[in-house]
Amino acid sequence: MLTPENMTIVKAAKSDGVELAMLNDEKESLSLGGLPEGFEEAGCLLDRSSGFSRSLCISHLFELHGVPVVNSHFAQKICGDKVACSAVLAKSGVPTPKVLVAFSAQAALSAVEEMGYPCVIKPPVGSWGRMVCKITDKHAAEAVVSLKSTLGGYADKVYYIQEFVDKPGRDIRVFLIGDEIVFSICRTAKEGAFLTNLSAGGTASGFALTEEMEEAVHKVGGIMGSGIYGIDLIEGKDGGFYVLEVNHAPEFSKSAGAGIGKVAEKIVQFAVSCMKK
Ligand SMILES: Nc1ncnc2c1ncn2[C@@H]1O[C@H](COP(=O)(O)OP(=O)(O)O)[C@@H](O)[C@H]1O
Ligand SMILES: [Mg+2]
Averaged pLDDT for residues 265-275: 97
Which residue is closest in CA terms to ligand 1's atom 4? Answer: 165
Q: Does the model's pTM come out above 0.85? A: yes
Which residue is closest in CA terms to ligand 1's atom 12? Answer: 195
Ligand number nearest to the C-alpha of 121: 1
Binding site membership of 169 for ligand 1 (Cβ less than 6 Å): no
For residue 160, how many other CB atoms are within 10 A of its CB?
23
Please give the number of the atom of ligand 1 that sits closest to the Cα of 119: 1
The pLDDT of residue 3 is 87
Which residue is closest in CA terms to ligand 1's atom 2? Answer: 164
The pLDDT of residue 257 is 82
Distances in Å between the alpha carbon of 27 and those of 21, 24, 54, 122? Answer: 15, 6, 12, 31
Distances in Å between the alpha carbon of 177 and those of 57, 117, 231? Answer: 23, 37, 11
Please give the number of the atom of ligand 1 that sits closest to the Cα of 128: 22
In one letter, which amino acid is 54?
R
For residue 256, pLDDT beyond 90: no
For residue 121, pLDDT beyond 90: yes
For residue 152, how many other CB atoms are within 10 A of its CB?
10
- Please give the share of the chain, as a percent, with pLDDT higher than 90: 90
DSSP string, 219-250: HHHHHH-SSEEEEEEEE-TTS-EEEEEEESS-
| CATH label, 1-95+166-277, candidates 3.30.565.10, 3.30.470.20, 2.60.120.200, 1.10.600.10 | 3.30.470.20
For residue 64, pLDDT beyond 90: yes
**What superfamily in CATH does domain 99-163 come from?**
ATP-grasp fold, A domain (3.30.1490.20)
Binding site membership of 244 for ligand 1 (Cβ less than 6 Å): yes
Work out the pLDDT band at 152, boundaries 50, 70, 90.
Answer: confident
Distance 151 CA to ligand 2 centre (A): 23
- Please give the share of the chain, as a percent, with pLDDT higher than 70: 100
User: What pLDDT, in 10s, does the model give residues 212-254?
Assistant: 999 999 999 999 999 999 999 999 998 999 999 999 999 998 8
Averaged pLDDT for residues 4-31: 94
Q: Across the chain, what does the average pLDDT equal?
A: 95
Mutate to test the pocket of ligand 1, among 78, 83, 171, 238 (most ligand atoms within 8 A of CB): 171
Distances in Å between the alpha carbon of 21 and those of 40, 50, 100, 135, 137? Answer: 11, 18, 43, 46, 52
Nearest-10 Cα torsion for 91, 94, 97, 98: 20
Which SS3 state, helix, strand or coil, does residue 181 take? strand
Residues 6+ apart with CB under 8 A from 33: none
Binding site membership of 80 for ligand 1 (Cβ less than 6 Å): no
The rounded distance, in Å, linking the Cα atoms of 152 and 201 is 29
**Contacts within 8 Å (CB) and 24+ apart, 89-96:** 89/220, 89/223, 89/243, 89/246, 92/219, 92/223, 94/216, 94/219, 94/220, 94/223, 94/243, 95/216, 95/240, 95/241, 95/242, 95/243, 96/242, 96/243, 96/244
For residue 30, pLDDT beyond 90: yes
Domain boundary assignment for the chain = 1-95+166-277, 99-163
Distance 55 CA to ligand 2 centre (A): 18
* DSSP character at residue 33: T
Binding site membership of 81 for ligand 1 (Cβ less than 6 Å): no
Distance 129 CA to ligand 1 centre (A): 6
The pLDDT of residue 263 is 96
